[in-house]
Amino acid sequence: MTLRRILPTLIAVTMLASPAPAQSGRKFEPEPAPISDNRGLQDPAKAPPEKDNAHEVVPVGADYNPNAVLRKARVLFIRSKSAYLKSSDLENEMRQRPEFAALGLLVTKEEGNAELILEVGRKVPGRKFVYSAIDPRTQIVLTSGSARADLFGLAPSVAHKIAKRFLQRVQAVR
């Protein structure tokens, strides 16, 4: 190889590997550590905000019953982890089912208000979609299942299948 062919590549690699010059001419200075008194307590003005207890995981005791949690849950949040199935599509399919109204279920857009989270994802590669009903307080999976998407779109949609199978499981517990 000739030097003319290699030289532009070497220059580009050298430029990418070298640190960028400071734009304002100022050096990076780390922020000073929070000041604490003799008791080891931080300054209240600089204290971190308190955590929200809604997302805190609750320890599970021996008397924890997943079926009882599934039976009591009324407010449902749907979380889709797939680009092929939107949570709004599954929400619409849920609301169209007669069992949904009969069970007294509601769908929320706010995860913090949910008593039950229905998480949907797609197994890669393939057409299989899996779902899990999760207790948001304990992060325990209460029930799960799967549905296969039709290749040509002739059968009911995967959202329809998941809604039907999930609601059948909830009905069986109640």
pLDDT for residue 150: 80
Other beta carbons within 10 Å of 62? 4
Which of 136, 133, 135 is closest to 144 using CA atoms? 133
**Count of residues making up the chain:** 174
Four-CA torsion 102, 107, 113, 114, nearest 10 degrees: 70
Pair 94, 100: CB distance under 8 Å: yes
- List of the chain residues with pLDDT < 70: 1-5, 7-62, 153-154
Q: What integer pLDDT is reported at residue 117 of this predicted model?
A: 93
**Inter-residue contact 100 to 76 (CB < 8 Å):** no
Tokens of 130: 């899996």
Map out the domains of the chain with their CATH numbers: 63-173 (3.30.160)
Whole-prediction pTM value?
0.61
